[in-house]
Amino acid sequence: MLIIQEKTLPLLEIPQILVSKINIIIMTDRFNTFFNWLVSWEGSTFEDDKNDKGGQTRWGIDAASHPGLDIKNLTREQAAQIYWKESWTDLHIEEFPVGIGEVLSNIAINCGKGRLKWVQEIAGVTQDGKIGPATIAAVNKLDRQEVINKLLTKLVVFYHAIGVGHNAGFLKGWINRTNDLKDFVAKLKP
């Protein structure tokens, strides 16, 4: 698989027989910036923490969510492809204002896509956890910083609610990650 990380591509003359065999993923600069931030928190080392329900993990990609995937040998490029599809394009992140999209992607990655209902609650639309035209349109009418602040608050409350028992050891890291996410999105140009 060829990964091209630019916004524009020169036109290529490729024989038609090869076109059906080529899978090109074009990741945006916005995604690449977020992905670099994300892996600074998720890390590149292989882990198998008995307290992590995801099981074997590398680059933040876990075996429980990706059965059959060779987590131990997962490359950065493969992880980028997974995040690009599962927590970026599938969620229409590019259609959200800068900052809001990054926070939503982080929530989906670290808390589960079910928590996307938070943004729907904030936007006053049906809370089904599915990001579609109604959610995007409603969110895009709201004040960007207010939405970011509300999402980050919900994230901290959620972490405190689950950061007990076997998860207690993760709480400090989750809060630090959220504070860093706040700083990261504040530096992005809307």
> What phi and psi values does residue 143 have, to the nearest 5 degrees?
-70, 120
- Cα-based distances in Å from 177 to 23, 51, 138, 182: 34, 19, 27, 9
- Where exactly are the structural domains of the chain? 31-187
- Cα-based distances in Å from 53 to 56, 63, 147: 9, 9, 30
The torsion region of residue 9 among left (phi > 0), alpha (psi -120 to 50) and beta comes to: beta
Are 179 and 172 within 8 A, CB to CB?
no
Are 128 and 117 within 8 A, CB to CB?
yes
Pick one of 3.30.870.10, 1.10.1530.10, 3.40.50.300, 1.20.141.10 as the CATH number of 31-187.
Answer: 1.20.141.10
CA distance 78 to 84: 10
> What phi and psi values does residue 62 have, to the nearest 5 degrees?
-110, 155
Amino acid of residue 187: K
Q: Is the pTM of this model over 0.75?
A: yes
Residues of the chain with confidence (pLDDT) below 50:
1-11, 14-20
Give residue 6's pLDDT: 44
Give residue 144's pLDDT: 97
Give residue 131's pLDDT: 95
Give residue 37's pLDDT: 98
- Show the tokens assigned to 5: 């990380």
